[in-house]
Amino acid sequence: MSKTLLIKPNPDNIRLTRAVTGIDHSGEHQEIRVIEERPLTIYLNKQEIVTAMTIGDYPQYLAVGYLRNQGMLLGDDVITGVDYEDDIETVVVRTKRHTDFEEKLKKKTRTSGCAVGTVFGDMMEGLDKVHLPATEVRTSWLYKLAHEINTMPSLYLQAGAIHGSVLCQRDVPLVYMEDVGRHNAVDKIAGWMVMENAVAADKIMYTTGRLTSEMVIKTALMGIPVLASRSGFTAWGVEIAKQVGMTLIGRMRGKRFICLSGEDRLIWDADLKQIANDSKESGRK
């Protein structure tokens, strides 16, 4: 795989934002761009599974990734088609295997994820079989990734009210997805990995959002051994990360970060004199 950014944010895509005029703190009229939200209905074969609120880009990746992260698409499933109908905002994922999730659809757990993330009640299913590879993580990679990702042109910098997740290899961002919910952004990456047959064992997942149980579970089930964020943790997220052997790093700001799981895999090779004290970026919303 080429070590270059394969998918990056497109803040110039006018379909993803809308111009809205309001009045600012000084009483002046001001036009700003705000994030669009669109419903996307996902089918697996003939069965409707969920309607997700999303910004509307990469619907095929989102559908495949969502189904994979919910355990509805298995690792050996043969996908025979992924069809998106823009006029009715629907994706149909077709598989060679017959599927029926009527019982599973009856039990859902609402998560703490923004944009009302939902996962099914058996969300822990399969985690007991996950043992992530003990992949080394160099601190120089973390600092380089944080700087590059947080200063890259994005919808987040332009309009705010959005989360990003980035699939990385060593110190190189590969796939940068944004959406109104961080779980959607991760699902898009999962879908990309499935459809591109990408290897997970040497990857790092970076997210702008909180390191919740849902984020840790999804990243673990994708086979990615490292999850990092500029935000904080939940206790259950940390507990699950320890259970599956994930390196979990949060509160990445300037020279600071904290690792609450897999700290023995860190290699302290960064020269802190070369790292800025504060990673606050102008324009962050």
Each residue's pLDDT tens digit, 91-115: 999 999 999 887 777 655 444 344 4
Give the pLDDT of residue 71. Answer: 87
Q: Say which DSSP state 59 is in.
A: H
Query: pLDDT per residue over 170-205, tens digit each?
Result: 999 999 999 998 889 999 999 999 999 999 999 999
Give the pLDDT of residue 269. Answer: 96
Give the pLDDT of residue 111. Answer: 45
The domain covering 137-274 belongs, at the CATH homologous superfamily level, to: Cytidine Deaminase, domain 2 (3.40.140.10)
| Residue 274 burial class via C-beta count within 10 angstroms: exposed 0-12, middle 13-18, buried 19 and up | exposed
The C-alpha atoms of residue 170 and residue 178 are separated, in whole angstroms, by 21
Asked if 260 contacts 234 with a C-beta cutoff of 8 angstroms, the reply is no
The H or E element spanning position 47 is strand 47-54
Q: Which residue has the tokens 């994979």?
A: 68
Cross-strand bridge partners of residue 34: 18
Q: Tell me the average pLDDT of the chain.
A: 89
Q: Which residue has the tokens 């023995």?
A: 264
| Residue 123 burial class via C-beta count within 10 angstroms: exposed 0-12, middle 13-18, buried 19 and up | buried
The C-alpha atoms of residue 149 and residue 129 are separated, in whole angstroms, by 32
**Distance of alpha carbon 116 from the chain centroid:** 15
Which residues, at least 6 apart from 229, have a Cβ–Cβ distance to it below 8 Å?
206, 207, 208, 209, 210, 211, 249, 250, 251, 252
The C-alpha atoms of residue 181 and residue 35 are separated, in whole angstroms, by 12
Locate 70 and state its tokens: 């919910």
Query: pLDDT per residue over 256-275, tens digit each?
Result: 999 999 999 999 999 998 88
Asked if 108 contacts 118 with a C-beta cutoff of 8 angstroms, the reply is yes
The C-alpha atoms of residue 148 and residue 177 are separated, in whole angstroms, by 15
Cross-strand bridge partners of residue 277: none
pTM for the whole thing? Answer: 0.88
Domain with CATH 3.10.20.10 in the chain: 38-122
Give the pLDDT of residue 250. Answer: 98
Total residue length of the chain: 285
Domain with CATH 3.40.140.10 in the chain: 137-274
Average pLDDT over residues 198-227: 95
Q: 38-122 architecture in CATH?
A: Roll (3.10)
Of 284 and 85, the one with more pLDDT = 85
Give the pLDDT of residue 9. Answer: 92
Asked if 157 contacts 281 with a C-beta cutoff of 8 angstroms, the reply is yes
In this structure, which amino acid lies at residue 32?
I
The H or E element spanning position 274 is none
